[in-house]
Amino acid sequence: EGDWGLTLRPELLDRAARHFRTVRLPVRWSNHASADAQARIDEAFARRVDAAVDRLLAAGAWVILDLHHYMQLAGGGPLHPHEFSVDESVLEDRLVNLWRQVAARYHNRSPRLLFELLNEPPGGDGPGLGGERGNRLAARALAAVRESNPTGVVLVGPDDWNHPRGLARLQLPRDPNLIVSIHSYDPFDFTHQGVPWRQPPLPRGVGCCDDAQRRQVREALDTATAWSRAQGVPLHLGEFGAYREAPMPARAAYARLVREEAEARGIGWAWWEFASDFSPVWDSAKGRWVEPIRRALGVK
Ligand code: BGC
């Protein structure tokens, strides 16, 4: 909250819950907790999250409560401005202890509250949180959730920033109540044109979606669907979106394409994002829908 130019006003939460069945709530727990291995969560911050979660649940939404942007642990890039660093030796224990606290805090909420262990673990078997290390840590975090929350649904995602490519390395703990979360930002040079965190920035003016681009979207979703069938674990498409500097007609075409391809495979989805600064469907400054995106997503 604040970092993405948005304050969670009650009417914003109500609108999200009224128009979407599922709301994914990204929370940077790691930055609102003690720097030691215990990672004691700041109570004032947690109450702020309680208010958002409870308001969304009361409005009837399913809520995916996510652990977002623990950049020092995820290792995919530099720390963010305002992110404090901790001793390397406590990084993993902090994640596990954050989940122990979050799960205990919400253990008596509605079954419509789901937990997502870690947004976008980066890459493969290289440095960072991919492969074996990511699998081991997810298993530990899940065990911490299960201490207070034996059957609630938990989302786990593959490395490579949740791209379906990472599924080949994902080893899930044995647990009947898991959903695997994937993200779809293909074609990346289209969806991420002009984003300031890529230097030099990807060139602007790339359109969407020609045959090759459509194929790219479909192939990734097919990889995920085949994996999901083989493993017997359902999928959720936790993020897709196209940066606001891409041409609007192409963004709307992209939104429609990915939504339809996901729905054709029986995959529920969440657009990134509702009202912040990457690819909003609600313009919070003007208090109105971004119409082409709203229509493409089929939001009533
Ligand atoms: C990141 C955001 C980013 C988006 C698109 C998300 O998972 O947390 O910071 O805007 O992906 O790249």
- Read off the pTM: 0.96
Per the document, the length of the chain is 300
Using only the alpha carbons of the chain, give its radius of gyration. 18
Token pair belonging to 81:
């401005």
What's the CA gap between 300 and 294, in Å, rounded? 8
Short-list 77, 65, 70, CA closest to 91: 70
Strands of 113-116's sheet in order across: 22-27, 62-67, 113-116, 154-156, 178-184, 235-240, 268-269
Token pair belonging to 82:
């305002």
Going from the Cα of 26 to the center of ligand 1, the distance in angstroms, rounded, reads 10
Shortest-distance atom of ligand 1 to CA 4: 9
What's the CA gap between 36 and 300, in Å, rounded? 46
Residues of the chain under the 70 pLDDT cut: 76, 124-128
What pLDDT, on a 0 to 100 scale, did the predictor assign at position 80?
87
H or E element that contains 268: strand 268-269
Residue 119: φ, ψ to 5°: -70, 130
Token pair belonging to 153:
């649904």
What's the CA gap between 217 and 254, in Å, rounded? 10
What pLDDT, on a 0 to 100 scale, did the predictor assign at position 74?
84
Largest CA distance in the chain: 51
CA-CA-CA-CA dihedral for 125, 152, 56, 258, to nearest 10? 50
Report the nearest-CA residue for atom 8 of ligand 1.
Answer: 69
**DSSP character at residue 42:** P
User: Which residue is associated with the tokens 């001793």?
Assistant: 87
Asked whether 228 lines ligand 1 (CB < 6 A), one says no
Going from the Cα of 236 to the center of ligand 1, the distance in angstroms, rounded, reads 17
Going from the Cα of 238 to the center of ligand 1, the distance in angstroms, rounded, reads 11
What pLDDT, on a 0 to 100 scale, did the predictor assign at position 126?
61
51-71 tens-digit pLDDT: 999 999 999 999 999 999 999
Distances (CA, A) of 183 to 27, 166, 167: 17, 11, 11
What pLDDT, on a 0 to 100 scale, did the predictor assign at position 127?
61
Asked whether 119 lines ligand 1 (CB < 6 A), one says yes
What's the CA gap between 149 and 186, in Å, rounded? 35
DSSP 62-77: EEEEEE---HHHH-SS
Asked whether 116 lines ligand 1 (CB < 6 A), one says no
Going from the Cα of 116 to the center of ligand 1, the distance in angstroms, rounded, reads 15
Range list of H helices, the chain = 10-19, 43-58, 71-74, 91-105, 131-146, 188-191, 211-231, 248-264, 291-297
H or E element that contains 249: helix 248-264
Token pair belonging to 207:
């359109």
155-165 tens-digit pLDDT: 999 999 999 99
Report the nearest-CA residue for atom 12 of ligand 1.
Answer: 192
Please give the single-letter amino acid code of residue 194.
G
